[in-house]
Structures are given as structure tokens and as C-alpha cells.
Structure 1
Amino acid sequence: MTNVKVIFFGQLRTFTGTRERTISLEDSADLSHLISRLNEEYDNFEAQINSIKGLRILVNGREYELTGGLNTPLYEGDTVVFLPPVFGG
């Protein structure tokens, strides 16, 4: 099993009821597997993230689009951050 730390910010922290948690995945898991798992644990998680315009997903501090998109492999100790845009003034 691969343990991945997941951090939620903004409305996703409210939606999940937590800031941070560790998820255990199969050893060959990728980002799409993590999202599917989160969707099982948090009803409509995938719809929630798809509805957030400008959502950034970081894998070890790098944009997931730059690391293989949803096929980005996840390894023991990786950190995935779901970061909605921040507005303010």
C-alpha cells in the first residue's frame, strides 16, 4: 500500500470536514485513483472539484498538468494539495 497525504483548502476543507488526511492506495495508484477514492469517501467529491473554476491540484508542490495529468503516479509519502483560487482585497 502507498500512503499519500492529502491537504484540502477553502471550500474543500469545509466540504470534507478536514484540512489534512492520509489515504492508503494500491502501489500502482495515480491521481485519478486518488480522486475516485475521495469520491467514494466524500459523496460527490469529483463533482465538487469539477465545479471549482481555477482549482489547482498540486502533487509534491507541482501542478498536476505538468507531472502527467490525472495519470500522475503517486508514491509513498507524496503530498497532494487541492487548492481553490483565493480572492480578496
Structure 2
Amino acid sequence: MNYELTIALKPDLAPEKSKNITGEVEAAVQRLGGKTVKVESLGVRSLAYSIKGSGQASFGRFQLELSPDKVRDLRSQLEREESIIRVLIVKGGGTN
């Protein structure tokens, strides 16, 4: 099934660390038997409200193919990463 994953990272991360987290996300998807179709960096944006003490976040968007029974496991793994301040996974991300 297709999913769109959006993550919000702490805005003060070094570019190297952001790139490492992107690799970790892709590896987690692969370990769960899924596939990353597309990765986009959406840059740093101001938040409507503070999340974990941050008024801004750096966003990344991933289009995935993943078994529905593995989505909860992926969310759990990503939420344990302290540099990720928010995780959103929605169905039907497509491959546009």
C-alpha cells in the first residue's frame, strides 16, 4: 500500500545529521519490507505552535510502499529518534 510520511526535525540540526536521519528512515522502511519511492526536503518552516520547545522545524517528505501491518512499527521506530519532533503517516501518498 502507498503511504506518505512527513517528518519534522529539530531546526538546528546540521545538514549532515539531517541527511543521516533521511538514510535512517529509508533503512527502517527497508527493514520492514517496504520501499522508499521518493524523498523530498521541504526546508525549515515556522510552526503554528511550539512542538517540543521548537517554534520551527525542518520537514522531510517520503513516499513509501509498505505493508499496512508495518505502519505502526515504522511510526514507533521513528518516534524514538530524538531529532524527529513529529511524525505523520497518511494513506495513498501516490507516486506523483
Which category of TM-score, normalised to the shorter sequence, fits these structures? Answer: 0.3 to 0.5
Higher-strand-fraction structure: 2
TM-score (norm 2): 0.31
